[in-house]
Amino acid sequence: MITSTDHKAPSVSGRLLLSVSRPSCSCKGAQLSSQVAKENLRAVEIRRTNEYRKHQTRMTSDLNKIVLAQPNSPLQYPIHGFTVIPLRKSLIPGLAVHAGKKKEYEVSLSVHKGVLSVENVDGVQVEGQDQSTLTISTTSLEHLNLLLSRVMYTSTVYHIKTLDMVYISFGEYEAIFPITISRPSVPVLFDPGEDINSLVTIATKTFLRYGELNVLISSIRRFYPDIKIIVADDSLKPENVSGTNIEHYIMPPAQGWFAGRNLALSQVTSKYFLWVDDDFVFHEKTRIESFVEVLEAVPELDVLGGDVDGNQFFFSLMYEEGDEEEGGCMSRIHGKVHGPVPGFSGCFFVDGVVNFFLARTDAVRRVGFDPFLKRVAHTEFFIDGLGTLLVASCKGLTVGHQKRRGLSEYSKYRHRNDERGKLAHHFFKNHLKCIKY
């Protein structure tokens, strides 16, 4: 018998729940522990480890363990996709035994987070009704399979998303299969309406650049006179931004880019939002409909980036979880793609895109923008969304960029960069050992 690497993982002959430990990782980028003040490092490490373990408790389950099975078993059972509502009795589908002639047939099932039951029939012995272990014995294979087709499972643990493992045995054969215990979620749908104005909202964040913002708005109105525009503004002395279907939200001064993105996103009521910087400019080739065409055709896609003045900036993120104590390793690789988006030439799956993108409102809200990051932050959103957001970039979805002007007050804030503080933030928040941009 193979021995599990996790002494807590239950195992049975011929079947095994295997927990795989993670090795340490390394990268050539910044070593993040060195960005934390030495006198605080140990206390920060302790808090980080405790929070990471709580995170693992919330996010992992028994299905994160590998289930190994040997071939040629007479047992039939559901290996994937069986989901029950907590505390509600449900029929386990597909249970059966395929075996030759025997004097007696006996099947035993056991669970940890629920109880098992079955409606009895004549000539069949059942032990453990409404208990965690159920045993069915009979001299008839037909009767055995009849009862197995009626076995019910009821969870006794309330949780909105967890798992139970069922252990089933027949003679020398044993197996394990999962039951997902989950509350069904309620759909949250956005009415697409009848035109682009109902389907998309344009969102931007501005700070001290009202000249550029007004140019952007004028260019949008040239091609999309009725589309809603949301502006989040943390300027030191806010100015009036007026116009049809424009929502201008004033923030406390200098709260930062990601705080502004969160505010703008919180007010979007359409299915999609188009993010633009306040110094972009729409032109004849800026067609929001082209973005929408791709996202509507690929419902799994969450974020679709374009290019700014022909610069199709995109990247992929290489992430290793690393061991529990040291943390993970992150590397950003510019220009790397994961593969083409089927059916759309020039579109490729990536992990991060330029600041000109169309995104599903509900998907991005689930990730959000970290308001700790005020001045220089973009990759960080895609790091937080890694494994949650499906991202792509398409050539030809384009917007212009206004000519840069010298803004001394803006530049003073824009280039105020606390790189050490940001890296120390990654160390704790993202449980990273090192990061390479």
Q: What is the pLDDT of residue 6?
A: 37
Q: What is the pLDDT of residue 69?
A: 62
Nearest to 358 by CA among 219, 200, 205: 200
Q: What is the pLDDT of residue 317?
A: 97
Inter-residue contact 287 to 333 (CB < 8 Å): no
Q: What does the DSSP 8-state code read for residue 311?
A: B
Q: What is the pLDDT of residue 11?
A: 44
Q: What is the pLDDT of residue 54?
A: 75
Q: Which residues of the chain have pLDDT under 70?
A: 1-21, 58-71, 406-417
Q: What is the pLDDT of residue 2?
A: 26
**CATH 2.60.40 domain range(s) in the chain:** 66-182
248 φ/ψ angles, rounded to the nearest 5 degrees: -115, 110
Inter-residue contact 68 to 174 (CB < 8 Å): no
- For domain 66-182, give the fold: Immunoglobulin-like (2.60.40)
Inter-residue contact 331 to 29 (CB < 8 Å): yes
Q: Which residues pair with 330 in a beta bridge?
A: 319, 435
Q: What is the pLDDT of residue 182?
A: 93
**CATH 3.90.550.10 domain range(s) in the chain:** 196-436
Cα separation, 187 vs 198, whole angstroms: 19
Q: Give the CATH class of 196-436.
A: alpha beta
pLDDT tens digit sequence for 277-306: 999 999 999 999 999 999 999 999 999 999
HEC readout, 249-285: EECCCCCCHHHHHHHHHHCCCCCEEEECCCCEECCCC
Q: What is the pLDDT of residue 7?
A: 33
- Residue with token string 């759909």: 187
Q: What is the pLDDT of residue 229?
A: 98
